[in-house]
Structure 1
């Protein structure tokens, strides 16, 4: 157990012949008591400061740990957002490619259909022209026959009407 100022104050020394001067010893002991009390107070103050500083250190260590965890969580969240964005971009790209393929295929099919319709219309136009030519030729042939001359005025047939 450590020595206290009271222990120093209550310490009694035995007397001997030609021993130390009692007043000097008492003065010295009083000085030792004062210095010892000052050291004890200073020690308590320092312990209090150490405790306060340790609390602050613990507080800052907790803040540092929290910040580290926050940074890690933020980094993980950023990585997750980045990965999700990449996946979403890939899905959008695949969907766009699918749509582009579908549009191209539909356009090609429509183009083929229109080309077939054009060919069919050309055939129909050719058939129509041929029929029309045949009709016109037949009509011209009818007009060039002698039967029409008999219908003309002045050929002696019925009172001819002028056409």
Structure 2
């Protein structure tokens, strides 16, 4: 068990002939008691400081551990968000490609339909031109026939008769 200031204070030494000076020994013991008490107080203060520093160290160790876990969780969340964004981007791209293919196919179908309609109109125009040409040629042929001259003569005779009959 360690020595206390009270133990030093209560210590009695036996007396002998030609012993030490009692006052000097008591002064020295008083000085030892003061120094010993100061050392004990300092030791207590240092122990308290050690405990406080140990608590701070534990706090910072816990804080460091919490931060490390938080960083790991944040990194995992960031990775998850990144992966989800990649997947979503791929889905958007696939959907856009499908829409583009659909639009292209619709445009090609419309283009083919219009091309067929244009061809059909060209055929109908050609048929119309042929029929019109045939009709015009037939009319020209009628006009160029001698029977027109005969009709003109009959028509002129009728006019002459009508005029003569009215007078």
TM (norm. structure 1) is 0.87
Q: 1:23 to 1:145 in 2, by over 3 A?
A: same
Whether 1:75 and 2:46 are equivalent positions in the alignment is no
RMSD, aligned CA: 2.1
Deviation of 1:124 (Å): 0.8
Question: CA-to-partner distance for each residue in 1:64-103, whole Å, 9 max, x for gaps?
Answer: 2222222222222222222122112111111111111111
Question: CA-to-partner distance for each residue in 1:20-73, whole Å, 9 max, x for gaps?
Answer: 333232222212111110100000111111122122222222222222222222
How many residues are treated as equivalent by the alignment?
Answer: 161
Cα contact 1:9–1:30 (8 A) shared by 2 = yes
Deviation of 1:155 (Å): 7.4
The residue aligned with 1:85 is: 85
Deviation of 1:5 (Å): 0.6
The residue aligned with 2:149 is: 149
Q: Say which structure is richer in helix.
A: 2
Please give the alpha-carbon distance, in whole angstroms, between the structure 1 residues aligned to 2:155 and 2:108: 68
Aligned ranges for residues 5-154 of structure 1 at < 5 Å?
A: 5-152=5-152
Please give the alpha-carbon distance, in whole angstroms, between the structure 1 residues aligned to 2:40 and 2:154: 163
Please give the alpha-carbon distance, in whole angstroms, between the structure 1 residues aligned to 2:106 and 2:155: 70
The residue aligned with 2:165 is: none
Question: CA-to-partner distance for each residue in 1:119-139, whole Å, 9 max, x for gaps?
Answer: 111111111111111111111
Please give the alpha-carbon distance, in whole angstroms, between the structure 2 residues aligned to 1:156 and 1:41: 158
Q: 1:151 to 1:94 in 2, by over 3 A?
A: same
Gaps of 5+ in 2: 163-167
Secondary structure of the residue that 1:3 maps to in structure 2? coil
Deviation of 1:112 (Å): 0.9
Please give the alpha-carbon distance, in whole angstroms, between the structure 1 residues aligned to 2:58 and 2:79: 31
Please give the alpha-carbon distance, in whole angstroms, between the structure 2 residues aligned to 1:153 and 1:17: 196
Gaps of 5+ in 1: none
TM (norm. structure 2) is 0.85
